[in-house]
Amino acid sequence: AALNDGLRSQVSAALKEGRVSPTELCQRCLALIKSTKFLNAYITVVEETALKQAEESEERYKRGQPLGILDGVPITVKDNFNTAGIETTCASNMLKGYISPYNATVVQKLLDQGAVLLGKTNLDEFAMGSGSTDGVFGPVRNPWSYSKQYKEKSVPKSHSEDEESNWVITGGSSGGSAAAVSSFTCFAALGSDTGGSTRNPAAHCGVVGLKPTYGLISRHGLIPLVNSMDVPGILTRCVDDAAVLLGSLAGHDPKDSTTIQDDFKPFELPNLTDVSKLSIGIPKEYHAPGLSSEILALWSKAADLFKNAGAKVVEVSLPHTRYSIVCYHVLCTAEVASNMARFDGLEYGHRSDMKDSTESMYAATRREGFNDVVRGRILSGNYFLLKQNYEKYFVKAQKVRRLIANDFVKVFRSGVDILLTPTTLSDAAPYTEFIQEDNRTRSAQDDILTQAANMAGLPAINVPTALSERGLPVGLQFIGRSFQEKQLLTVAKWFEKQVQFPMIQLEEVKRHDSDVFQHQKSASFS
Amino acid sequence: QKVSVEVLEHLEHLALVDFRDLEGVERLQKAIQFADQLQEVNTDGVEPMDSVLEDRWCLYLREDDVTEGNCTKELLENAREKVEEYFVAPPGNIPLPKLEERETFLQGS
């Protein structure tokens, strides 16, 4: 099997038939991780345990008893998910050295199905950010920065300037996971999505990023940011793979009382050929200020694609869209203020040497452990939660949240099945440019198209669509009805097939897996 | 309107994190300004929304049965200071020093 193969259709068959072994796959990925170290996508790599898991998987295949499609498949997990016996840092000094005593439910589920955990990926500190640039382990580099496609299009400013300063960000906060999937070092990765943290880096790294409906997948063991919006996110190279992952993760968890109790039935995606019964909504407010003309054109082209194929394409309105980001800002900081209160140095994590009093120890620990972004959100959140501000900000934001959620309800009730929007305002920015604005400003700008789905709890997916003029990936987003992931993914898969997004041409990958390029698609959407 | 020093100090007490510098305070000012845009929205007669799953009512109480536990050793492993089965904390009930006595950025304000 080649690193670019789909899980259900190719990898699983290859493993069952013995054409490739789990150990081989694992070793290939580990070698690639080493040669792409400059991407800084991984915080921890667990080579020994991964190889051991691969060996155990191999035994199962030899006995003809694999646990499922994921048996033997190398995966990675964002470093804000607890993984038993493995350091979980959230890219923060606060949790450096913290060894999780348990597995997050989603991690346990993957392991129970024989998946091989390669390591933990890099992120913005405590998942706060939209660049994967603000963690203590440094920024993650977008693999596309080193692609033939990007290098061909970039004009060096002076011949002494090398590609070192030209690299672009992955987006965030699940940048490490997106980069890992994009550079073929794993077949799938878990991210988290609170305001777009899975879809944003997916768009910038040219991979599929799925945000499931809130309540579908357990958050137990996912270190919380915003309890009412967080969801585990799925990053894969194709929509079919996302469906496979979804099937293995979704379902009620008694340890997370915010998961719905309905039975979840894993599904295979049909190959949709007739879209004439589909109604696609184009929310006009998503033509947001700052949207690049390139992406606007792509969005329009995508709408035409559906129209020409016979689908009904209508313009719709989500009138409260522009307040969504403000509302998110208040609710997010308020919940963060509460969630970050657990970090006091007593039971786990960093602890200051300060001994004068409990409170001074807590204060010193938190001052030493948190970066500016985290501290800023905690302080803002506490401000909005002050007695004199509670009604004006927090309760007000909760009311606006209902209005935003209702906007979506109205649109879906009017007969629209799926919404089509851009995922990001532009393609990935160079790191040097990105860091010129502060984290809060950037997040406010970059989350604008993604976070309303978190406010309303709806499922949403980024599908890589085309390359920009700079040779970088651009994705489009589909938003579906609550718990209608099958319909959402079916449409996404149809779209994916139409656009034939090109594969990244990375020197490092070519060296390790010459088969990878045999599936090169020649047609492309742009 | 700028946030008063009293409120800033109060926030540092509640949050147990400090503003550290002028930039930190300005960050808060900008955050408040940004949030003020919410006032433009008419929310008359609108109920606050706690959870998107309110219709499904999944927050339930389970039976008070002990289903897991006995993991004292694992739980203590990550603590830096412990004695037998206790987490050890410095003395409590000692309030943080007042603004004048503390070494904090806000003193200069």
Size of interface A-B (CB pairs under 8 A): 183
HSE of A200 in the Cβ direction (CA atoms, 13 Å)? Answer: 37
pLDDT in tens, B55-94: 887 678 888 999 888 999 999 999 999 999 999 999 988 8
Q: What is the pLDDT of residue B102?
A: 62
Which residues of chain B does A457 touch, with a Cβ-Cβ cutoff of 8 Å?
52-53
Confidence of residue A155 (pLDDT cuts 50, 70, 90): confident
Q: Which of A214, A326, A345 sits opposite B34 (nearest CB)?
A: A326
Pairwise pLDDT comparison (B91 vs A515), residue with the higher score: B91
Query: What are the boundaries of each domain within chain A?
Result: 10-151+168-324+398-499
pLDDT in tens, A229-238: 999 999 999 9
Listed by number, the residues of chain A in 480-519 with a beta carbon closer than 8 Å to a beta carbon of chain B are 482
Q: Do B58 and A257 touch (CB under 8 A)?
A: yes
Q: Say how far apart CA A10 and CA A8 lie, in whole Å.
A: 6
Which residues of chain B does A357 touch, with a Cβ-Cβ cutoff of 8 Å?
90-92, 94-96
Q: What is the pLDDT of residue B108?
A: 58
List Cα–Cα distances, A7 to A59, A73, A364, A432, in angstroms. 20, 8, 48, 37
CATH no. for A10-151+168-324+398-499: 3.90.1300.10
Taking residues A497-510, report their average pLDDT: 89
Q: Say how far apart CA A205 and CA A182 lie, in whole Å.
A: 6
| Minimal C-alpha gap between A291 and chain B (Å) | 20
User: Does A270 score more than 50 pLDDT?
Assistant: yes
Q: Which of A352, A357, A390 to mutate to test the interface with B (most CBs of B within 10 A)?
A: A357
Chain position carrying tokens 């800084």: A40
Q: Say how far apart CA A126 and CA A340 lie, in whole Å.
A: 9
Q: Does A403 touch chain B (CB under 8 A)?
A: yes
pLDDT in tens, A41-84: 999 999 999 999 999 999 999 999 999 999 999 999 999 999 99
| Minimal C-alpha gap between A227 and chain B (Å) | 9
Q: What is the pLDDT of residue B21?
A: 87
Taking residues A306-323, report their average pLDDT: 97
HSE of A15 in the Cβ direction (CA atoms, 13 Å)? Answer: 35
Which residues of chain A does B91 touch, with a Cβ-Cβ cutoff of 8 Å?
357-358
Listed by number, the residues of chain A in 259-288 with a beta carbon closer than 8 Å to a beta carbon of chain B are 259-261
Q: Which two tokens stand for residue A364?
A: 């010193």
Which residues of chain B does A384 touch, with a Cβ-Cβ cutoff of 8 Å?
35
Taking residues A102-124, report their average pLDDT: 98
Which residues of chain B does A400 touch, with a Cβ-Cβ cutoff of 8 Å?
38, 41, 43
Residue of A nearest to B78 (CA): A348
Q: Which two tokens stand for residue A131?
A: 């660049």
Q: Does A398 touch chain B (CB under 8 A)?
A: yes
Instruction: Answer for the pair A100, A57: CB distance below 8 angstroms, yes or no.
Output: no
Listed by number, the residues of chain B in 49-68 with a beta carbon closer than 8 Å to a beta carbon of chain A are 49-53, 56, 58-60, 62
The neighbour count for residue B72, using CB atoms within 10 Å, is 10
pTM for this predicted structure: 0.95
Q: What is the pLDDT of residue B59?
A: 76
User: Does A472 score more than 70 pLDDT?
Assistant: yes
Q: Which two tokens stand for residue A522?
A: 């020649």
With residues binned 3-state (H G I as helix, E B as strand, rest as coil), the percentages for chain B, rounded to 5, are: 35, 5, 60
Q: Does A360 touch chain B (CB under 8 A)?
A: yes
Average pLDDT, chain B: 88
| Minimal C-alpha gap between A375 and chain B (Å) | 6
Q: What is the pLDDT of residue B86?
A: 94
Confidence of residue A5 (pLDDT cuts 50, 70, 90): confident
pLDDT in tens, B80-90: 999 999 999 99
Q: What is the pLDDT of residue A507?
A: 82
| Minimal C-alpha gap between B13 and chain A (Å) | 9
Q: Which DSSP letter does residue A172 get?
A: S
Q: Which of B20, B38, B95 sits opposite A330 (nearest CB)?
A: B38
Q: Which of B7, B16, B87 sits opposite A346 (nearest CB)?
A: B87
Q: Does A384 touch chain B (CB under 8 A)?
A: yes
Which residues of chain A does B106 touch, with a Cβ-Cβ cutoff of 8 Å?
none
Which residues of chain A does B94 touch, with a Cβ-Cβ cutoff of 8 Å?
356-360
User: Does A513 score more than 70 pLDDT?
Assistant: no
Q: Which DSSP letter does residue A359 get?
A: H
User: Does B39 score more than 50 pLDDT?
Assistant: yes
Q: Which of B19, B53, B77 sits opposite A379 (nearest CB)?
A: B19
Which residues of chain A does B24 touch, with a Cβ-Cβ cutoff of 8 Å?
372, 375-376, 379
Taking residues A469-476, report their average pLDDT: 97
Instruction: Answer for the pair A127, A190: CB distance below 8 angstroms, yes or no.
Output: no
Instruction: Answer for the pair A423, A202: CB distance below 8 angstroms, yes or no.
Output: yes
Q: Which of B17, B41, B51 sits opposite A378 (nearest CB)?
A: B17
Q: Say how far apart CA A499 and CA A467 lie, in whole Å.
A: 11
pLDDT in tens, A402-432: 999 999 999 999 999 999 999 999 999 999 9
Listed by number, the residues of chain A in 209-228 with a beta carbon closer than 8 Å to a beta carbon of chain B are 214-215, 228
Confidence of residue A509 (pLDDT cuts 50, 70, 90): confident
Q: Say how far apart CA A182 and CA A237 lie, in whole Å.
A: 7
Q: Backbone phi, then psi, for B73, in 5-degree steps?
A: -60, -50
Q: Do A101 and B71 touch (CB under 8 A)?
A: yes
The neighbour count for residue B38, using CB atoms within 10 Å, is 19
Annotated catalytic sites of A, by residue? 78, 173, 197
Q: Which two tokens stand for residue B12?
A: 């540092």
Q: Which of A326, A363, A384 sits opposite B37 (nearest CB)?
A: A326
What is the distance between the terminal CA atoms of chain B, rounded to a whole angstrom?
16
Let me know how long chain A is.
526
